[in-house]
């Protein structure tokens, strides 16, 4: 206990050491808890434009699960890159796209991005989302990447 008090006194008296320790703490928290991502492409327009900067909370999902409409960063193993996407479907739901509109468990959802996916002619047959997976899509519904991702590939939630 006395040792900790002595260290505290040394840090109090030495402004440089105080600043260094604060910087190390901030870097540790930022490295573990946050990430800055620069968007590339138009797949999240109009919400995020090409070149927008987004702050990602990497520990948010340590305490909760992704919810519908969350904007997340996920790791794509095919492109070996991070993608900024919106969660639309949750585990065990049946997702379907008819005439460009999204249906969950047979009911059309109230999509905040009121734009049909790839036009009104696009259909995706019913797909049950497996345990531990989420269905994602970009906000630019006419030209976007969509699909399933594993929960462990979701890096974090974008902070608005």
| Averaged pLDDT in 10-residue chunks for the chain of 160 residues | 64 65 62 81 89 90 94 92 94 94 94 79 92 94 87 92
Helix (H) or strand (E) holding 50: none
Pairs from 2-8 (Cβ < 8 Å, separation ≥ 24) = none
What pLDDT is recorded for position 79? 86
What pLDDT is recorded for position 74? 94
What pLDDT is recorded for position 12? 66
Q: Based on the structure, what is the number of domains in the chain?
A: 1
Handedness of CA 33, 133, 50, 102 (dihedral sign): negative
Query: Residue 124, preceding bond cis, omega within 30 degrees?
Result: no
- Asked whether 46 and 71 are in contact (CB, 8 A), the reply is no
What pLDDT is recorded for position 114? 79
Instruction: Read off the pTM.
Output: 0.79
CATH number at residue 79: 2.10.109.10
What pLDDT is recorded for position 29? 59
Tokens found for residue 102: 């999204």
What pLDDT is recorded for position 24? 67
- Asked whether 148 and 95 are in contact (CB, 8 A), the reply is no
Range of the domain at 114: 2-159
Q: Which residue has the tokens 């999240």?
A: 44
């Amino acid at each position: 206990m006395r040792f900790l008090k002595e260290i505290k006194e040394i840090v109090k008296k030495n402004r440089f050491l105080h600043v260094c320790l604060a910087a190390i703490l901030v870097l540790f928290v930022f490295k573990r808890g946050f990430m800055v991502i620069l968007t590339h492409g138009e797949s999240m327009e109009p919400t995020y434009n090409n070149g927008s900067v987004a702050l990602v909370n990497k520990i948010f999902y340590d305490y909760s699960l992704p919810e519908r409409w969350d904007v997340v960063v996920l790791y794509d193993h095919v492109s070996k890159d991070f993608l900024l996407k919106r969660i639309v479907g949750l585990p065990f739901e049946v997702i379907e796209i008819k005439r460009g509109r999204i249906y969950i468990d047979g009911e059309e959802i109230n999509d905040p991005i009121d734009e049909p996916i790839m036009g009104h002619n696009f259909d995706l047959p019913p797909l049950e989302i497996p345990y531990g997976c989420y269905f994602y899509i970009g906000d630019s519904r006419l030209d976007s990447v969509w699909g399933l991702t594993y929960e462990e590939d979701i890096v974090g939630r974008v902070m608005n």
